[in-house]
Structure 1
Amino acid sequence: MSLPHGFTDISSPSLPLHVLERSQLADWRASQPAAIGAWLDAQNFTAAPGSLLALPGESGIGGAIVGIGDPLDPYSYAHAPFALPQGSWQLATALEQAQRAALQLGWGLGSYRFDRYKQPPRSPARLVLEQADAEALDLLAASLRVRDLVNTPTEHMGPDELEAVAREIAQAHGASVEVTAGDELLAQNFPAIHAVGRASHRAPRLIALRWGQADHPHVALVGKGVCFDTGGLDIKPADGMRNMKKDMGGAAHALALAQLVMARKLPVRLTVLVPAVENAIGPNAFRPGEVIATRQGISVEIDNTDAEGRVILCDALTYAGEQSPDIVLDFATLTGAARIALGPDLPALFANDDTLANDWIAAGEQLRDPVWRMPLWRPYLRYLTSNIADLANAGSRMAGAVTAALYLERFVPAGQKWAHLDVYAWNDSDRPGRPAGGEALALRSAYAMLKARYPG
């Protein structure tokens, strides 16, 4: 087995690593020589969450203690790979299986640095992997897939490249991919996707990945794939455009979740739909005030070309609904309003089914990968009123995340169970285990919800 970055096998010479909560320090200290106790006192070490202490040995460092908080939160361990000296470290603390899985996932997340264009100044400390938790490593691979995709600049992650990633994932797991691109979108009745992406020199497309047995419950995943968002003719200011390579973060989540579901062989039939476009400026860019067609036949007046994500998603959601899946989950870096309401770490969850929403919330609490439910307050549809079309794509600064979700709901068939995640997919600054850049949020909890819902 090829080990992830930050891990090594048991044959490596290593130092002992003690993982302790603050409440466990006294008992551990009582089992150690007096010199170790004196060292703890001299360093005023309390095993506080996020702390670390190197222990003296006969010829230098003899081991280390990592202080943690919640033992089931992977991020409790994520500071260790770059806080420890380089080299190999072997766990010297007995952990239950759930804690061991959290440690392995957190260590992998903490070892990550995006290194496609620049090598980090040092390598992480390596954890000896004695008993690999296969599910934890698959969760890690999916999470790092999101980070890598979101971190990659649009120069190297446009619609073509996103399609290539979908094909790579499909080939690894025996799935199929079909792509509708360019003017063929019009021929196949995906006019909204075409309208948003037509101004770019890179052809817009709808990527469809399919996997699983026909008699298994059908799950549809939809991911917003705006590979770069200038804002269109309603152009963004420079600071608002700076990180818009990340506007395909929803697609990254959908593809990574599909990868995870297939790797773990959940008993479901998957359909993954990624409308992939660049919202560019050009002679044929879609304009404010235009009325565009949609697959569902609802006419949409463009109030703002920078509300383009919902426009491409509406065709994809319609297509997903036509296939009558058991549930539809969509992921999108959709609104700044969600970030103002909930901040960067807490994705906004909208759902038309209480059981689906509550199951995702419960999974988030269990996995320490939270979501926060927001209301589909339908009276706010009045903010999307158009005088010349069935619907406007925007229209008010009020309740922006809610109105975006309400717009999407118009394209979900009546009775279809659906949940929408408005996700930031980004860390604005470095924190232990969370380097600045792309981030997977609520991916692990989405998987856990699916795993519990479809046990086989």
Structure 2
Amino acid sequence: MQVQLSPKPAPAEWGEAALLSHATAGWMIHHSEASQIQQAARRLANMGLREVQLTGAWTPSLQWAFAQGFMLSKGEVTLRWADAPDEILQMLEQRLFCANWVRKLTNASPDALGPLELALETVTFLSELAPGLITHRLLKGDALLEAGWVGLHAVGRAGAQAPVMLELDFNPTRDRRAPVSTCLVGKGITFDSGGYSLKSSEGMLTMKSDMGGAALLAGALGYAITQGLTQRVKLILCCAENLVNEQACKLGEILHYRNGVSVEIVNTDAEGRLVLADGLLAAVESGATRILDAATLTGAAYMALGGNYHAIFALDKPAQQAFLAHAERAQEPFWSLPLEPWHRQQCPSHYADTANSRPVKGGGPGGASNAAGFLSRFVPADGAGWLHLDLAAAFCDNGNHLWAPGATALGMVTLANWLQDVEHAS
């Protein structure tokens, strides 16, 4: 089925503001904004179209907008791009390949994708894109505790599968002494029951997607590699299942992190920040000049942004603005939420340096900022070069006018372009 763009309004019989009308060879889209193109593609997918040929004058950004809407949560679709130079077509194919990998991994059922599988799938995916340029190390189970990664071990020790930390190194220079420009840290909770702070059945249903941060960062690194990334980048994934048994982390436990910070557990469903703290400490040890973590971290970010934007937090405001400039160019919606040094004190504890949350539903007012403040304890004091992404738009539970049910891969293009930003990586 052919799909074309038209600068003219739809015929009157289709309605004054119709997105679509039927043409002789297929369908005509009567709008030229990216969000409207994505909506039109969503409608065509919902009509049952499974194979589409874009024809006529399409910019790369509008073709990508269509591709984001023209997808399914089960089954496959075939999208053929409009005529364009070979380098544009190759770029679109590589982008779609990486985004589909993110979606497939995030949508995988938790019985099929445990912590070790998540780590190994990531290694395979990136090694195939950059043969000979990827090295990695896995720490699993009690080896994490021996290495001092207390947060990841505590969260994952009740899992049906042992927790895993993946440290992956993409080094296109092949020089072991080359500086690390950027270190990415991803939350890889392959299923989140909430632990003893047990979620409701409804709240638990989509918690296979709680590794969406890990998948998105791996997909973004993969896409950046296909676009010629020349900087050395490390990827740290903190992978675990947050389950309940006699070994599970208990409320009131105190963890002592490698940087000397002690943390009282007041909510076992605030587990993502516990594992990210280890990942951030590892990132600091890498010597990277930029550190970015990404996680499906708080319901508070979702409540603030409605599932339409990713939240970004930073103490380093120029670094935040540079990232947001990339997001604007990629037409991917990110929104900055407040983070100041005093947010570190917003999760007080009588018994430790800090608690991992507030002992109230949702972490209380400003919960997403308080979580970011907690994480800021595990990066250098002024937060220079550190960005925190709370991925409120990583997963669309039931689908909507823009997205099929499941993972969106939103933000992948922004992240890949930011990784290639040599000026801000030096």
Tell whether the structures are fold-level matches, with TM greater than 0.5: yes
Q: Which residue of 2 aligns with 1:3?
A: none
User: Is the Cα–Cα contact under 8 Å of residues 182 and 205 in structure 1 kept in the other structure?
Assistant: yes
SS in 2 for 1:330: strand
Task: State how far apart, in whole Å, the 2-side matches of 1:453 and 1:75 are.
Answer: 31
Q: Residue 43 in 1 paired to residue 13 in 2?
A: yes
Which residues of 2 match residues 222-241 of structure 1 at below 5 A?
222-241=185-204
Find the counterpart in structure 1 of residue 275 from structure 2.
Answer: 312
5 Å matches for 1:49-198?
Answer: 51-55=19-23, 61-70=24-33, 75=38, 78-79=41-42, 81-82=44-45, 89-92=53-56, 94-95=57-58, 99=59, 101-115=60-74, 119=75, 123=77, 126-127=80-81, 131-132=85-86, 133=88, 134-172=90-128, 173-174=130-131, 175-198=134-157
The CA distance in 2 between the partners of 1:283 and 1:41, in whole Å, is 66
2:248 is aligned with 1:285: yes
Q: Which residue of 2 aligns with 1:427?
A: 396
* Map of 1:443 onto structure 2: 412
Instruction: Provide the C-alpha distance between the structure 1 equivalents of 2:96 and 2:269, rounded to a whole number of angstroms.
Output: 33
Q: CA RMSD in A?
A: 2.5
Q: Rg: which structure is higher?
A: 1
Deviation at 1:87, TM superposition (A): 5.5
- 2:259 matched residue in structure 1: 296
Identity of aligned residues (%): 30
Superposed, 1:393-432 pairs within 5 Å as 393-395=356-358, 396-415=363-382, 416-424=384-392, 425-432=394-401
Any idea what the Cα deviations from partners look like across 1:51-106, whole Å, max 9, x if unmatched? Answer: 22222xxxxx34432122315986366347535856553513x34xxx2x123323
Query: Do the aligned residues in 1 keep the contact of 2:180 with 2:286 (CA within 8 Å)?
Result: no
1:257-307 Cα offsets, whole Å, 9 max, x none, are 111122222121110000100011111111000111212221111011111
Query: What do residues 391-443 of structure 1 show as CA deviations (whole Å, max 9, x unaligned)?
Result: 11012512100110000000002354100000031113323551011122222
Instruction: Specify the code of the residue in structure 2 equivalent to 1:91.
Output: T
Separation (CA, whole Å) in 2 of partners of 1:385 and 1:276: 27
Partner-residue secondary structure (3-state), 1:25? coil
Runs of 5+ unmatched residues, structure 1: 1-13, 27-39, 56-60
User: Which residue of 1 is the match for residue 344 of structure 2?
Assistant: 381
Quick one: structure 1 residues 406 and 313, their matched pair in 2 at CA, closer, same or farther if it must change by over 3 Å? same
Give the match's secondary structure for 1:227: strand
Letter of the structure 1 residue corresponding to residue 291 of structure 2: V
The counterpart of 1:361, out of the listed 320, 324, 328, is: 324
Contact 1:86–1:126 at 8 Å: present in 2 too?
no
Distance 1:455 1:399 in 2: 30
Q: Is the contact made by 1:291 and 1:300 (CA closer than 8 Å) also made in structure 2?
A: yes
Task: Give 2:333's aligned residue.
Answer: 370
Distance (whole Å) between structure 1 residues aligned to residue 4 and residue 273 of structure 2: 49
Instruction: From the superposition, tell whether residues 346 and 41 of structure 1 become closer, same or farther in structure 2 (CA, over 3 Å).
Output: closer
2:173 pairs with 1:210: no
Give the 3-state SS of the residue equivalent to 1:171 in structure 2: helix
Alignment equivalent of 2:232, drawn from 244, 263, 269: 269
Contact 2:29 2:37 in 1 (8 A): no
Question: Is the CA contact (8 Å cut-off) linking 1:217 and 1:268 kept in structure 2?
Answer: yes
Hey, which bits of structure 1, 4+ residues long, moved more than 6 A?
none
In structure 1, C-alpha distance between the alignment counterparts of 2:321 and 2:410, rounded to whole Å: 17
Which amino acid counterpart does residue 101 of structure 2 have in structure 1?
A: R
Secondary structure in 2 aligned to 1:410? Answer: helix
Write the distance in 2 (CA, Å) between the matches of 1:233 and 1:86: 44
Q: Deviations over 1:20-58 (max 9, x none)?
A: 2xxx317xxxxxxxxxxxxx6463465x47x22222xxx
1:348–1:72 distance in 2 versus 1, CA, 3 Å: closer
For the residue of structure 2 that corresponds to 1:154, the secondary structure is: coil
Q: Distance in 2 between matches of 1:105 and 1:90?
A: 11
Instruction: Give a deviation string over 1:303-327, Cα, whole Å, max 9, x none.
Output: 1111110001101101101122110
SS of residue matched to 2:415? helix
> Residues 88 and 194 of structure 1: is their aligned pair in 2 closer, same or farther, counting only changes over 3 Å?
closer
Look up the equivalent residue of 1:178 and give its one-letter code.
R
Distance of 1:89 and 1:237 partners within structure 2: 44
Residues 342/110 of structure 1: CA separation in 2 closer, same or farther (3 Å cut): closer
Relative contact order: is structure 1 or structure 2 higher (C-alpha 8 Å, sep ≥ 6)? Answer: 2
**Whole-Å separation in 2 of the counterparts to 1:445 and 1:73:** 20
Distance 2:54 2:160 in 1: 52
Structure-2 separation of matches of 1:54 and 1:146: 33
Match of 1:30 in 2: none
> Which stretch of the first structure deviates more once superposed, 286-295 or 327-336?
286-295
Between the two proteins, the alignment pairs up a number of residues equal to 409
Which 10-residue stretch deviates more, 69-78 or 318-327? 69-78
